[in-house]
A and B are shown apart, each in its own frame.
Chain A
Amino acid sequence: MSSHNMIEIRGLDSHYKGRQVLFNIGFAIPHKKVTVIMGRSGCGKTTLLRHLIGLKPSESGRVFVEGQDMGSFDEKGMANYRRRIGVLFQSGALFNSLTVSQNIAVPLKVHTRLSDETIRIMSLIKLHLVGLADFLDYMPSQLSGGMRKRAGLARALAMDPEILFVDEPSSGLDPITAAGLDDLILELRETLGMTIIVVTHELESAVKIADQMVVMDRGNLLAVGTPDEIRSSQDETVLRFLRREAEEQQVNTESYLSRLLGRQYKAGENSTRRQGGVR
């Protein structure tokens, strides 16, 4: 693995309205490599991305971009950083009132003085890259979910970013289109030396594209390593995650029953029901 890191995360905690959702996260994102972040729904992957793209403020000393503390970025520093990154949000997040090509053009119109014609050609180049060149005049509502994702990826690539963040690019894609996306990600790393961070639930895709895999569990970092290292992990939780095994949800069951029964339910309280096969 390269000794040169693009981003370093050290002891990052995160809260939403006082509820802690990330606990002491620390790892490095190597330059010009693909880092894949995995973990069950709700474990904090998108929240972590929000910190890395500066959408959620991190305490000083937690996130470093090429050695520089993101917490100390002023407005200009943050704007400079944003120009270097491309982001595909989990929701796709296209502007519904704009056509596909106008959507791709937005960052170019905001950040550059390029002519309309140059921007039109650039949009077409990026749309062709994601296989949507024939749909440039469509409205987002006329696209399928997977096509919207790809249009979002074209927009994320509009400014030739050095760092690309993609949150579940293949959700809603058929296996062939998803494999095409994996190839594109590898091509971007290979040819442009892009640093790429991908959140995905697809283990097969993760193993194919990842130089580094990061596995999270309920707000904690569970494991970091190459796909081979992760797969040969001895950690029970990692193995369960890889085997796609459901975990026991004793705690959730109790809180669920408490809600239903309107009072604190204690395990074993109603033994007849337990014998009746509730668990």
Chain B
Amino acid sequence: MPLRFYQTEPHQALVKLEGNFDSDTAPEIRKSLIKIVKNKGSESLKIDFSEVPNLGTAGVAVLVEVLRAMTRKGGALELVGLNDNARQMIRLARLGEIFQT
């Protein structure tokens, strides 16, 4: 699944995901996201979900890992462009507040 990474501003990273984020694709996306989080520039990370038709629990779990890593380095994580399904999955995991959905 394609993942596009943009350094929009010096400390602002934007990742655009394209395709499903589920148990099949989560291992690769996780690797890429962890790399980006470790990147010095990414103090705040925005992930764009507008091209993600389906978010599974595996994807939600990876987001938790990314959030944890971002918080640890004092940064922030923002999710944008979530469709209904993605929002429902996050809420079903009772993480709606944490991800502000």
Contacts and interface: CB of A to CB of B under 8 A. Distances in A.
Given A113-B27, A160-B23, A118 B92 contact: no
A192 B61 contact: no
A118 B91 contact: no
A215 to B, nearest CB: 31
Interface in B47-72: 56-58, 60-62, 64-65
A112 B65 contact: no
B56 A125 contact: no
B56 A118 contact: no
Contacts of B27: 112-115, 118
Nearest to B65: A117
Interface of A is mostly: helix
A202 interface: no
A118 B28 CA distance: 12
B94 A128 contact: yes
B79 to A, nearest CB: 16
B23 A114 contact: yes
Contacts, number: 60
B57 A160 contact: yes
B12 interface: no
A111 B92 contact: no
B61 A112 contact: no
B93 interface: yes
Contact of A114 (B58, B64, B88, B93): B58
Interface string A78-120: 0000000000000000000000000000001001111101110
Contacts of B92: 129, 187-188, 191-192
Contacts of B22: 160
Contacts of B46: none
Nearest to B55: A160
A125 B57 contact: yes
Nearest to B91: A191
Contacts of B61: 114, 118-119, 121-122, 125
B30 interface: yes
B100 to A, nearest CB: 18
Interface string B25-42: 011001000000000000
A111 B93 CA distance: 21
Contacts of A191: 88-89, 91-92
A125 B91 CA distance: 11
B83 to A, nearest CB: 13
Contacts of A108: 23
Contacts of B65: 117-118, 121
Give the one of A125, A128, A188 with max B CB within 10 A.
A125
Given A108-B23, A125-B61, A129-B93, 9 more contacts: A112-B26, A115-B30, A118-B58, A121-B64, A122-B57, A125-B93, A126-B57, A159-B23, A160-B23
Interface of A: 108, 111-115, 117-119, 121-122, 125-126, 128-129, 158-160, 187-188, 191-192
14 contacts: A111-B23, A112-B26, A117-B65, A118-B65, A122-B58, A122-B60, A125-B57, A125-B61, A160-B23, A160-B57, A160-B58, A187-B92, A188-B92, A191-B91
